[in-house]
Structure 1
Amino acid sequence: MQVSSSSSSVLIPSLQWRAPSHQTSFPYFPLQSANTCISSCCCAQFHHHHDRSRSSSSQVFSIYPIRLINPSTPFSSSFFSQFKARPFPSGSTARRRSKLRIVSEVFERFTERAIKAVIFSQREARALGRNMVFTQHLLLGLIAEEEQHRHLHPTSHGFLGSGITIDQAREAVQSIWHHHGQSQTASADLVPNASPGRAASATDVPFSISTKRVLEAALEYSRARAHNFIAPEHIAIGLFTADDGSAGQVLKRLGVDVNQLLAEAASRLQVELARDGREPSGGFQKTFSKKSSAKISSENTKEESVLDQFCVDLTARASEGLIDPVIGRDTEVQRIIQILCRRSKNNPILLGESGVGKTAIVEGLAISIAQADVPAFLLTKRVMSLDIALLMAGSKERGELEARVTTLLSDIQKSGNIILFIDEVHTLIDSGTVGRGNKGSGLGIANLIKPSLGRGQLQCIAATTIDEYRMHLEKDKAFVRRLQPVWINEPSQDDAVRILLGLREKYEAHHNCRYEPEAIDAAVYLAARYIADRYLPDKAIDLIDEAGSRARMEAFKRKREQQIGILSKSPDDYWQEIRTVQAMHEVVLASELKNGTAPSVDDTKEPMLDSFSSSTADNEPTVVRSDDIAAVASLWSGIPLQQLTADDRMLLVGLDEKLRKRIVGQEEAVDAISRAVKRSRVGLKDPNRPIAALLFCGPTGVGKTELTKALAACYFGSEEAMLRLT
């Protein structure tokens, strides 16, 4: 587009933008209506040709990304006055375009409140005599915007609930500048003053480099949580995480804890999303053009296709509430956070038996990041779970798997905020090699990620069992030394009960049932005692899950039997019931008319309400009791249900009598065994030692083995509970 040499201006509804007098003016851009909106923030470039003696040089003017707002918006004119034509050296055009693409993506997501905060920051910078918006001004703009917004929401108290007012913040900024000198600025933020001839508008103030970093951090935080908007809370989180120290110095002077502000900002975002169904209130209605939408979609697909294809974003799932709560693992989560914040060897590996909750702990980390309950270093991180089977599937040609892994590592390095979670990490050893032992060909996935782990370009969390760790990983010393082990032990029965109580609502909603507290206790107790080949809390969770499914099936069977019973009646029986009800109704109506009291409308509605309540009673949740848990445990273990539900105290009371009926003539041995078992049951023993250590001595055939079988049958329910070592 060539620039016209005649003096002209760009006409925008309720806004007239005239180019500065010292620059070449622009032609008219006719807009069809006042509600015309440029949905995609494009960067318009104009080439300006000058005749200079014997040659002509080209100079590029760039219009910063803008969005036209409804003319009724009171601040539209002041907002757009900052987007002036600025000359760029022609040699750096490509670099400028890449930066402007980031800026355009930032501004097209801004809500109305976020734009107000940016405008207020520019006004604060101009009022304080600055020709550039620094992070302190951005902080002042956020405080001023919230103070204005507080008139509509009087429940909030100061900036993010901290009690800070705009006057206090201004005094703090002025005192800091007065203490350090008016001319002190960051060397990275120094730019020339505004060109002469440019109108000195309150919002005609550019952003410093540190402020742009803050806006990019806000965009990255919004991307990581799949938010389609940028609110003032996003900018505040970006300010606290990507600040150069200037805004933090102001907050420190005001005596405010930055971590509390971070938590409050994240909490407000969660409330906003929950209230509006993941759409911001008061934001712009984005109307992307097909061309710009296709372009953005293709760029996102190109950049994130490998990650989306082979990984699952646990942080996004946690933000959407798709992950079950993690209870009783705060110590392990804090240990992982501590390792992740290290400078080197910041890759934890979780070691524990199957079912103790290794994956749940990583999901707990994702929940903490989504709730901003982590240090500032981890706020913008995304926990991505790698599907190793999907990564290896379909790689038929040699080198295809290696190409996938290297592409995945390259995308992770470019992103810079990915924490890769690798479950069953032992499968990486020798994956991708052909052959056995040292004769196999191929690099293997573990060998491909070793250099990235060593250089700190890849940050990961691994998980495997203790046996697999000793069998596979300990042999690869170079791989193991880059990982920091975190031992995950089986929770106690009390902790398992708390975990099940925390998960109870999820399973009740799924099975349309209600678990009694006794059922939760029985699930943990029976799982710990009779299911020995698995670990808590996994086996107890499976018990209540299957018990809920069983109760749901039983309720369905009962309902179906009732329906079949109703349909099995003959028509004469139905007519007889109808006549009986009609006769009773006529008798009641006649007695009421005789007494002079007519039935009211509410009285006539009562039978209808009763029938409606009886019909809806079928949808009431089924109650799951301890007997249902015991029935499932009996099905799993093969132990009779009567044995599972029997009282241990009643077993102990008659234990010696049962043994004497089966073993005759061994009174001393029977009494010794009974006393040892009873002492153990009442707690009069060392908890770290077995119930008893008994040595039966005697010649062959006197009943040593028979006494052991009798004890297993009487106390543990079956002779199969005895283990014979030969």
Structure 2
Amino acid sequence: MFSNFDGAAVTAVKDGMDEAKKLRQGELKTEHLLLALAKIRDDTSAALHKSGATEDALRKACAKRAGVSELELLNPFANSKVADGLIPLAPDVKRLFERVAVEAEGALGDKLVSSKELVLDMLGDTTCGARAVLVEDLDVDVDELRDRVNGMEKKELVGAGKKLGKKKKGSALQECGIDLCAEARAGKLDPVLGRDEEVDRILRILVRRRKSNPCLVGDPGVGKTAIAEGLARLIVAGDVPDRLKDKRVVSLQLGMLLANTKYRGEFEERLKNVIEEVKKAGDIILFVDEIHMLVGAGGTGEDGGMDAGNLMKPALARGELQCVGATTIEEYRAHIEKDAALERRFQPVRIAEPSPEDSLTILEGLKKTYEEHHGVTYAEDALDAAVRLATRYITDRFLPDKAIDVIDEAGAMVQLAAAKGSGTTTVDASHVADVVAQWTGVPVRRLSEDESSSLLNIDAQLAERVVGQAEAVTAISRAVRRARSGLADGSRPTASMIFAGPTGVGKTELAKAVAAAYYGAEKSMVRIDMSEYMESFAVSRLVGPPPGYVGYAEGGQLTEAVRRDPHTLILLDEIEKAHPDVFNILLQVLEDGRLTDSKGRTVDFTNAMLVMTSNVGSKAILSSMENGGDGSADTYARVQADVRRELSNQYRPEFLNRLDEIIVFRPLTRPEVGDIAELMLKSVRARAEARGVAVTVDDAFRAALLEQGFSPKFGARPMRRAVQRLLENPLSECLLDGFAEQGSSVSLTATADGGVSVTNGAGLVKTFDAETLGSGSGGIEAGAVVKNGKSGDELAARKNGNAVVDLPLPGFAAQ
């Protein structure tokens, strides 16, 4: 039967059977065959698409007639009851094939049957299901479709495919444009809501006698193209002045105009033919999206040449060509404004970003369209959440585009989940929050019970890593809870703090602990060493070098990090080393939660936490301890006042006044350093156990660690060096020489001469004297002179075995 069918027709029959199976039909009907023909990329399918019979529209109509929902179409097991292989032909399909076979043998002169003949026969059979779908379900004009199918082989892009100077005539406008009024009649255009003022302004310009060419100017995503499509809907509905009721809006595709114009003059000829067609028709309003592309399109020179803009100027000036353009503010300024002759022919119409209330109205108007597309329903709170969360967290895009994208993706997510058997087909606020969270990385979902409990206990989590800084832990925990509960001020950073205190007391470690506990991992923290910004010219690295300088394309170190991951902790380490110009940049971040980089992009800091560490005031803290400070609340309050006084001398008031907290870190006491030593020992044990060796230490070893690792002046860092010297050094040697075998255990104790004794699982003992272990000075050489920095008194460092121990500073009680 199919011997006289060409390849496309045979493929359509097979695909039609597959479509019938998906619709749980036991036979191939003409509507299934028409759907398959619309899938083939040829001239016939192009004619179907232009008439509104697209693949999606036909599939929905066929599914509706078969009683199959869109969700069932997505289910891969929906057609399991239909047998594999070929299925029978419906009676109307048999009659169709018989008719085209006769035509092929007779009128077609023994030619093969193509998709064109199949479609034309369907259009002529008033009893077949395919024609009923086109007329009743899709409201397609059969005569117009027949003309398109018959004339398709005659149409060709002007100037394309020339051979030996011969030219095929065709409609350049039909190939390079889309009739938006026809799209509106077919119901393919979304409604435009909340733009009455802008639409009225456009209509006023269009009915002007001269220069009746509006140009829609606005940020990307505010709805410029949608307004032009809304104009086409108004014309179709007749809600326009009488002079515009007979007009058609045709969207000109500049890409199609430029396509395949290999030789000089082809583009100009094609555009000239388009302009002539518009002038001859007399009822066409051209819509040119991204109209700035006219400037330079098809031109031969950078500053001169006959580009598309220059070709259109005469027709625009004489009123022979009516055009509606759309472009962004930046592109209008860069391309249109610099061409004064082109600019004066257009009347700019500013399209501002709609308010959240107007955006919600727009979403409500689009709700039905997206429900039909996804086969879901949107709960009332979903649309409100989309606008609210998109406004709050997606700051680099504009309403209503970003809110529409959110509900679109949420609908797709629920649709796919339902197809996998989740059951729900209702999109609610939680689905919208999930989409926004995936886009931005900000946890905007509602708090679960486990997460709420974790946030309430975040103080304890931080205190496990940071010892002896209860005030700092409490302050930063409060900031985290404010941010996650949604009560934080959305116009400022989550928190902005200065951690002031002596070296080695846990300022940087607390920032790392917050990054791990709240942001998920320490790598979520952006750490910037401010000692790299001591010079004025280095400040530009934060926001990016200005245009023309090396590195301009790479952006700023601070702005790019936050732009990529807005939900992060920013640690500005040792802020006192930064140049004063750095603080000028930070002022707007602290107050408004935003910063503009060198490329003019606004970076949002409202979901970031800003922590600055400083050693300013450490002398006041140590002086208080030297003078007999006992660590009580009164002593701490006095220390805080002293540190704040020094900070006010170092930094300007407008900077300090914008901070949420100034947290003063206490010097570490001997018991607190002992707790830190236990944390370090635990970390070394874990690394040793990964090598298959269990490590234990006794109290004598802990006492030696504390003796060599405690320093009120240098905090916990001397302890880290003591652990390296007394534990890691001997343990590494034992692992390498086989003394500590895999699967065994070792125990360590301190010897009287400052060394370490290691006992393995077999009872063998290996001793390391103090000289073998190396210096335990914590960075101070034996015999060196130490100054307390206050009075300049010289203190001789004395040697205890081979370990160097600092003498107590004046005023410190012996520990």
**The TM-score by the shorter chain falls in which range?**
0.3 to 0.5
TM-score after normalising by structure 2: 0.40
TM-score after normalising by structure 1: 0.44
